[in-house]
Amino acid sequence: MKLTHIFFLHFFKNLFSPFLFCFVLCGSAATMSIGFCAQKSRQRLLWRRLTPSSSMCLLHDSAFFSRCQLRLCANVAGTAATPGKVRVHATSAEGKTVSLTAPTGITLMEAIRDLGRLDIEAACDGTCACSTCHVILREEDFEKLSEPSEDEVDMLDLAPSVTKTSRLSCQIQLTDALDGITVKLPPETSNQMS
């Protein structure tokens, strides 16, 4: 993998002295890795997904800055550029249908809102504190999901237009098993946060 830009900067030296930002911008503009190089961490590599095109890793090496272990960062960035993909089909309350391809690991709400550009309120931004991301699933897709949490059931109890296949899209993590998932947004939602 060819690295085109490499920047190091010390981030809040007094506040977060064990952390050093390592921005690695790779061959294509869509591939960007933000690595937090934790000097005091005992773990070699820990992943957390930020967006479909970026990733965050924690790398342990007390002498990271002096040794510049960019090869490890570059390998991490290459892995993040090709996550698993699933097809999602969503229909708005007005009847507008959007078909999109989303990376696995994000929520259904994020896929509909960010990639599908459908008007889904998602007032609590995925914390299961409202029901504005309520969706209605096909029976076969509903059966693929795990049981909803008690918090999700409580929020669905407050939502209008609930059906037997209703779920909160912020609580549905996209996996390979959900490829082809089809959902419909209800005709109305109720924001319990306002």
Whether 1 shows a pLDDT value over 60: the answer reads no
* Nearest alpha carbon to residue 86 among 141, 133, 139: 141
For residue 32, the model assigns a pLDDT of 34
Summary mean pLDDT of the chain: 69
Where are the domains positioned within the chain? 85-184
The pLDDT tens digits of the residues spanning 123-164 come to 999 999 999 999 999 999 999 999 999 999 999 999 999 999
* Span 99-103, average pLDDT: 96
More confident residue, 106 or 58: 106
More confident residue, 116 or 62: 116
Task: Give the pair of three-digit tokens for residue 129.
Answer: 């504190």
- For residues 48 and 56, the answer to whether their CB atoms sit within 8 Å is yes
For residue 190, the model assigns a pLDDT of 83
Percent of the chain with pLDDT over 70: 57
Q: Would you state the CATH architecture of domain 85-184?
A: Roll (3.10)
pTM for this predicted structure: 0.58
Could you give the CA distance from residue 85 to residue 3 in angstroms, rounded to a whole number? 25
CA-based angle 104:136:110, to the nearest 5? 35
Whether 82 shows a pLDDT value over 90: the answer reads no
For residue 83, the model assigns a pLDDT of 60
Residue 110: φ, ψ to 5°: -60, -40
For residue 4, the model assigns a pLDDT of 35
* Span 56-75, average pLDDT: 34
Outline where the chain has alpha helix (H).
64-67, 70-80, 108-110, 139-142, 150-158
- 32-38 and 45-51: which strand pairing? unpaired
